[in-house]
Amino acid sequence: MMNIWLYARNLIIGLWIVFKRTFTKPVTVQYPEERPYLPPRWRGRIVLTRDPDGEERCVACYLCAAACPVDCIALQATEDPMAQDRRYPEFFRINFSRCIYCGMCEEACPTNAIQLIPDFEQSEYARRNLVYEKEDLLISGTGKYPGYNFYRVAGVKTRDKDKGQGENELPPVDVRSLMP
């Protein structure tokens, strides 16, 4: 019997607590009119960046596709017949209806090509419109790393430089020589 009174009292206290909420300010943000403040490091939409030379940074290493926990990245590598030894993706496709914006791809990317930017307004009427192709992803800038150029620092031979000519790179060791 005492329990019943206890329950009743608690229920009425509950009513009062909720009723007091009438006089508190709602936490809702009236979004389209009222823009929320986004921190600069907010992670939103994924873009592919270019290096300062205007070339694609992506070398189609598949690390991003491997790292993606929801498998929303699809790409295929190919080599540029003109620029020898330079790889680039033949297609690069992100299905944003699956992407969870976790940023793993960004962390996995060895060339800083894939980056998450603060944009989040991606609503579409049709689901298929959320599949972004390389043309949709590629931007013309360098993103967060303005001076970085992968091929400059990578120890591979490109059409501009030979082995050992990259930045902070020693000339190649002659393995046949006995000198240190």
Partner 1 sequence: MTDWSHTALTIGVILGGALTLAGLLIWVERRLLGIWQERLGPNRLGPGGCLQSLADMIKIFTKEDWIPPFADKPVFVIAPAIVVITALMSFAVIPIAPSFVVSDLNLGVMFFLAMSSLAAYSVIIGGWASNSKFAFLGSLRAIAQLLSYEVFMGLSLMGAVLLAGSFNLSDIVDAQRHQWFVVPQFFGFLGFFMAGLAEAHRTPFDMPEAEAELVAGYQSEYSGMKFGMFFVGEYLSILLLSAMTVILFFGGWHGPWLPPVVWFVLKMSGFIVLIILIRATWPRFRFDQLLSFGWKVVMPLALINLLVTGGVVLWKAG
172 forms part of the interface with partner 1 (CB under 8 A): no
CB of 47 to partner 1, least distance (A): 33
Find the binder of partner 1 among 2, 6, 9, 24 (CB under 8 A). Answer: 24
- Taking CB under 8 A as the criterion, the residue among 2, 5, 27, 34 binding partner 1 is 27
Query: Among 10-18, 94-102, 109-117, 119-127, which window interacts with partner 1 (CB under 8 A)?
Result: 10-18
User: What is the spatial distance between Cα 30 and Cα 51, in angstroms, rounded to a whole number?
Assistant: 39
- What amino acid is encoded at 32 in this protein? P
Locate tokens 């944003």: which residue? 96
How many residues bind to partner 1 according to rule CB under 8 A? 15
22 in contact with partner 1 (CB under 8 A): yes
Give the per-residue SS3 of 39-107: CCCCCCCEEECECCCCCECCCCCCHHHHHCCCCCEEEEEEECCCCCCCEEEEEEEEECCCCCCCCHHHH
For residue 11, state whether it binds partner 1 (rule: CB under 8 A): yes
- Three-state DSSP at 152 gives helix
Residues that bind partner 1 (CB under 8 A): 4, 11, 14-15, 17-19, 21-22, 24-28, 30
